[in-house]
Amino acid sequence: MAAVLGTALAVTAALVTREYDEMSQNLEAHAKSLARVLANTLVAPVLHDDIWRAYEIIQSARDPAAIAPELQADVVLVTDSEYRVFVSSRPRAFPIGSSLASQGGAYGRLRAAMLEGKPTEQKVIDPADSAHYFVMSPLVADGVALGHVVLGYSKISFLPRFIGLVGRAALVTLLVLIVIMPIAWVSARRTGAPLLALAEAMRHVPGGLEVARLAELPASRDEIGQLGDAFVRMVGELKHKQELESQMLVSERLAAVGRLSAGIAHEINNPLGGMLTAIKTWQRHGSGDPMAGQTLSLLERGLDQIRHTVAALLVETKPEDRAFQPADIDDLLILVEAEARARLVHVVVESSLVAPLPLRATLLRQILLNLLLNAVAAAEQGGLVQLNAEAKDGKLKLAVCNDGQHIPDDQLAYLFEPFASGREKGHGLGLWIVYQIVQQLNGGLFVESEPGGCTTFRVEIPYVEPA
């Protein structure tokens, strides 16, 4: 926009300057020719001392109702050979016989100018401190200068025309701008808007990658379009990297938690085993003291609970196990049914499994049971839980989803850690167990939770087809 304005102004200024030069040249040429004509005409009246005739001539050179007032001499002076006023167009200001020097100012200097140079040539005098400039033509008869004709032009009268000129130029510029501005505006918007959108999208990097990814960027083939495409790719990769990083963070934390809990479990298990054996030994061979028996029984129950908890923390895999069969899923449904019925949750199964898979049935049943119970507990009252199972590309893929409450992002990161459950029911180890088993089976565990949608747990476990 500024460029348009600047160009318009520059062009206008150039035109005005040109016009100004032309105008002043015209004016000077006009003044010179008028002075020459007057000088020729005035020779006879001056020679014959005919003041009235000279006056009539210089009056006729002035048109009081001129169309171009700046072409009007403000004052016409005829001087004699003594540099005194012979006659002037303004007799009151320049009386007959008065000396130019007595006028002072620029007029005083005219006399000096008349003496300079060849007495028979035209001169243009433009005193800087005067409101007038002068064109002088000598009255020459037979090679002798009888006097001079001086045309005084007002510099000020030149202004109105110049101002008019500038005004016209400004008007034209304005009209052009009125035409060009909307075009320029539209074009600037077409260029600027995509860039602004891009800049706005970039503002969200790296904090709000999702917002940045979903930003509406121009889909054009030009450079800006390419820039937008590159930006979208970059944001996609950044997001992917961020996701990887957070996943790694989660996995590392889970691994650390796993090592810690395994270590603690071992440390607890050893004395625990001793303590339980001691209690059993006392119960078998003890004195039969009812008080001690009661106390030890209490101790045994507590220690048993500790053992169960520790055993859950430390998922031990047993190498011998049968293969996982499609019928296992039906069994699990029966196990979950009571709970589901109590909450009026409908459980739907879509299974494409037809043959047994070379995976350990106990572990998979544990995984599925945990996920299904969680899902039933999380689903809305009278809601829906869906289980999908398929074997594909050497992987068993299980997905359990429920239509229950959305799990916020900040909780997702800690979801698989022991005792992370927000629920009052349960020991908070279900998902930890699922995670441990999946880890041991070299599988993957994913969770997706969309607000207003489903929360889905996916498990992928690789298996090797027996040859």
Partner 1 sequence: MQALALIIVAMNEGDHGSAKSRRRVFLRSALAIAAMPLLPAHAEAGALRIGLTPVFLDDQLSFLTRWRAWLERQLKRPVVFVQRGNYREVLDLIRGGKIDFAWICGYPYVRYRHELRLVAVPLWRGRPYYQSYLIVPADDAKSNSLTDLRGKVFAYSDPDSNSGYLYPQYRLTALGENPSTFFSRHFFTWGHRKVIEAVGAGLADGGAVDGYVWETLAEFHPKLTGATRIIERSPEFGHPPFAARADIAELELRQFRAVLLGMSSDTEGAELLRLLRLDGFVAGRGSLFNEIARMAARVRRT
Interacting residues toward partner 1 by CB under 8 A: 49-52, 55, 87, 91-92, 95-97
CB of 96 to partner 1, least distance (A): 5
Phi first, then psi: give them for residue 416, nearest 5 degrees.
-95, 0
Which ranges of 204-220 does DSSP label H, i.e. alpha helix? Answer: 209-214
49 versus 450: smaller Cβ distance to partner 1: 49
- Distance from C-alpha of 294 to C-alpha of 286, rounded to nearest angstrom: 12
Positive or negative, the CA dihedral 250, 255, 260, 265 is positive
- Distance from C-alpha of 89 to C-alpha of 77, rounded to nearest angstrom: 7
CB of 55 to partner 1, least distance (A): 6
CB of 68 to partner 1, least distance (A): 24
- Look at the chain and count its residues: 467
CB of 145 to partner 1, least distance (A): 21
CB of 85 to partner 1, least distance (A): 10
CB of 133 to partner 1, least distance (A): 25
51 versus 184: smaller Cβ distance to partner 1: 51
Number of other CB atoms surrounding residue 59 within 10 Å? 13
CB of 45 to partner 1, least distance (A): 10
97 versus 192: smaller Cβ distance to partner 1: 97
**Which two three-digit tokens encode residue 323?**
């293969």
50 versus 331: smaller Cβ distance to partner 1: 50
CB of 58 to partner 1, least distance (A): 10
Place of tokens 């505006």: 185
E-only strand ranges, 329-394: 346-351, 357-360, 384-392
Residue 429's nearest CA partner among 333, 311, 332 is: 311
Burial letters for 124-162: b for 16+ Cβ neighbours within 10 Å, e otherwise? Answer: ebebeebebbbbbbbbbeeeeebbbbbbbbbeebbeebe
Residue 82's nearest CA partner among 106, 58, 95, 99 is: 99
Alpha carbon separation from 432 to 149, 212, 255, 427, 438 (Å, rounded): 116, 34, 11, 10, 10
93 versus 256: smaller Cβ distance to partner 1: 93
58 versus 387: smaller Cβ distance to partner 1: 58
- Distance from C-alpha of 162 to C-alpha of 385, rounded to nearest angstrom: 88
Number of other CB atoms surrounding residue 445 within 10 Å? 22
CB of 54 to partner 1, least distance (A): 9
What are the percentages of helix, strand and coil residues in the chain, rounded to 5?
Answer: 55, 15, 25
43 versus 176: smaller Cβ distance to partner 1: 43
99 versus 269: smaller Cβ distance to partner 1: 99
Q: In what order do the strands lie in the sheet with 444-449?
A: 346-351, 384-392, 395-402, 455-462, 444-449
96 versus 177: smaller Cβ distance to partner 1: 96
- Distance from C-alpha of 19 to C-alpha of 13, rounded to nearest angstrom: 10
CB of 50 to partner 1, least distance (A): 7
Phi first, then psi: give them for residue 352, nearest 5 degrees.
-110, 15
46 versus 391: smaller Cβ distance to partner 1: 46
85 versus 139: smaller Cβ distance to partner 1: 85
Burial letters for 33-42: b for 16+ Cβ neighbours within 10 Å, e otherwise? Answer: ebbeebbebb
51 versus 166: smaller Cβ distance to partner 1: 51
CB of 161 to partner 1, least distance (A): 28
Number of other CB atoms surrounding residue 278 within 10 Å? 12
CB of 92 to partner 1, least distance (A): 4
Which SS3 state, helix, strand or coil, does residue 243 take? helix
